[in-house]
Amino acid sequence: MTGKVYLIGGGPSKNLITVKGLNALKKSDVIVHDRLIDKKILKELDNKKEIIDAGKKSGKHKLSQKEIEETLIKKAKENKTVARLKGGDPFIFGRGGEETQSLSKENIKHEVIPGITSAIAAPEKYGVPLTHRKLSSSTVILTGHEDPNKTEKSIDWNKLSHAGTIVILMGVGNLPKIVEKIKQVKDEETPIASFEDIYSPNERVIHGKLKNIKKIAKEKNLQPPAVTVIGEVVKLGNFWKKK
């Protein structure tokens, strides 16, 4: 007999986790969490639970992805209820898909509980809608840090000319390269904003246009984690200076 694993999206802050997600955490025996969760979520739980920090940072992993998946399987086979708690949503660049594959291979019962992705939550907090009836009819969410070993084709930047709004996650380190690629298909006057560490005490917005954002980001020392949004909808943000 085995237990069950919940893959839970914790959203970008304690106040934005779903009721279902919080209830699953409360009934779990083990919680395996990522680095970018709001740690205040854990304070809502009793201290009898086993807490495993599986946080990853560029170049520094407390547990490899393989070790994380092995841990989920091992704990479930001990007939425990396991919560895999992720920041944002489990399936938006959260490797939740890989974890469900591993659990399925071992016939481990599991359930995905969606969460609010920072791709939406960060710009919305500052009044930026990803779609707008008059400005943008489509949104593309991209990773700014592709896995070099993946088998699928890399991002075709040329096709982004038709995207109304472009959202980049995990793109701070590669922002200069990303901007140059997008400038090939978008006007250099296109507004752009990076939402840094939103829903934390250190949150801030760095904004400009494609033609000058590299300079601004360098001067302001933009740091991860940040969500970058490109498109006319950025002008609707409450940080944008109206002309």
Of 119, 97, 100, 98, residue with least CA distance to 110: 100
Asked if 34 is an active-site residue, the reply is yes
Q: Which residue has the tokens 């291979």?
A: 105
List 49, 56, 80, 183, catalytic entry: 56
Q: Using CA atoms, how far apart are residues 193 and 207, in angstroms rounded to an integer?
A: 4
Asked if 1 is an active-site residue, the reply is no
Collapsing DSSP states into helix, strand and coil, what is residue 132?
A: strand
Asked if 86 is an active-site residue, the reply is no
Q: Using CA atoms, how far apart are residues 165 and 138, in angstroms rounded to an integer?
A: 6
List 38, 86, 170, 214, catalytic entry: 170
Burial of 158 (0-12, 13-18, 19+ CB in 10 A): exposed
List 34, 38, 86, 89, catalytic entry: 34
Active site residues: 34, 56, 170
